[in-house]
Structure 1
Amino acid sequence: MFGVVGGRAALRPAAVRGTLATVVVAVLVAATLIATGTSSGATDAGRGGGPGAAARPVLSAVTAPDPAAADGARGEADVSYHGHVSLWNGHVGVWLATANHGPSPVSGATVRLRFSLAFDPGATLPPSCLRTGPSAVQCGTGPMRAAGNGVQLALDLATLGTPTEVGLDIDTVWNGGMTDHNPANNTHHVLAPATGDPYTF
């Protein structure tokens, strides 16, 4: 009896030492995991973590919008302006025809006329036109069906003084939100000497 009890008493310190060693190892492992930034039970996804591996967020590539797809969504139209400008005795005359060569109809476009000189503030403009500066006018074309003609605009503007020539720049401010792959036929620059002759664009 005493031998057994003594044997148990002799084994008790060894068991304690084994428990302490296990605790020390566990503490060292935890410290190593904290230092490396790896959570317990987690594995590096790049090294083939198993079922217990921590899930990592996957970043998907951002795809740039396709310009062709955007153009298709907006629709396509080819707005054009043609006509002539004249200068005589302190007056500028502009005749402008609008058209849409398609393939889509246009709800409306805004054409801008910018002159190289100022004209009389009291000049009368067509109902669809608005003066936007001392030498600038914007006019609406109204709706234009595909492959159809729009409005025709006629302006007679008195200038300040009697200039010997006038320059005119024509372009589009708004085309109903359509894509126009041929802006050359709605962007013009014309120089008209004071001869009274029509200079076409």
Structure 2
Amino acid sequence: MRRGAVRSVVVAGLLVLAGAGPAGAWAGPEADVAYHGRVSLGHGQLRVWMVPENEGPAALANATVRVRLSVDLADRQELARGCARAGQREVVCETGPLPEHGRGRHIGLALALRERPAEAVVRIDTWWNGGATDRNHGNNEHVVLALDTGDGYAF
């Protein structure tokens, strides 16, 4: 065997042992992260309440949900525990442990907006899932249009 060929076999073997599949894909645990909740907009404040869930088959130690807005956040925010501002229109929150076929902690955000819009589009998705494979993105990627009525819109 040539020296370069030996190196390729060793690297390929290490990738298989490390859990990478074809083309470097991660073959970590499989989980199905989902978010269910509601959004409301009223008087220049956007409220987001959600419960992260894991429909299995493996438990996750933690995940991060991202909330992106179509409008700018006010400069000052008082965010819930485990949440951080990630941009002018973006907040991320850790879910905490997500047991197999179980729920994470409730996440409640009361976000002050720079201006008082007539409507806001809220996009909710998984930013990080602990390296798990999630084949069903339909239950963790949501787009909600909230009108400035104070009414709640479910996702």
TM-score by length of structure 2 reads 0.83
Cα RMSD (Å) of the superposition? Answer: 2.2
Q: Which segments of 5 or more consecutive residues in structure 1 lack a partner in the other structure?
A: 1-55
Q: Summarize the alignment of residues 186-201 of structure 1 with structure 2, pairs less than 5 Å apart.
A: 186-201=140-155
Query: Equivalent residue for 1:90?
Result: 44
Q: For the Cα contact (< 8 Å) 2:66–2:90, is it kept in 1? A: yes
d(CA) in 2 for partners of 1:79, 1:146: 10
CA drift at 1:66? 4.8
Per the alignment, in what secondary structure is the counterpart of residue 169 of structure 1?
Answer: strand
- The answer to whether the aligner puts 1:121 opposite 2:105 as a matched pair is no
Per the alignment, in what secondary structure is the counterpart of residue 184 of structure 1?
Answer: helix
CA drift at 1:107? 1.3
Q: Which segments of 5 or more consecutive residues in structure 2 lack a partner in the other structure?
A: 13-19
CA drift at 1:161? 1.9
Which deviations, in whole Å up to 9, do the C-alpha atoms of 1:66-120 show, x marking residues without a partner? 55xx66x411000000111100111101101101011100011000000001121
Considering Cα pairs closer than 8 Å and 6+ residues apart, tell me whether 1 or 2 has the greater RCO: 2
d(CA) in 1 for partners of 2:111, 2:134: 30
Amino acid corresponding to residue 59 of structure 2 in structure 1 = P
d(CA) in 1 for partners of 2:21, 2:81: 40
Large movers: runs of 4+ above 6 Å: none
Percent sequence identity over matched residues? 45
CA drift at 1:183? 1.1
Change (3 A) 1:198 1:75: same
Query: Equivalent residue for 1:38?
Result: none
Q: For the Cα contact (< 8 Å) 2:75–2:114, is it kept in 1? A: no
Query: Equivalent residue for 2:54?
Result: 100
Count of equivalent residues: 143
Per the alignment, in what secondary structure is the counterpart of residue 74 of structure 1?
Answer: coil
Q: Summarize the alignment of residues 159-178 of structure 1 with structure 2, pairs less than 5 Å apart.
A: 159-178=113-132
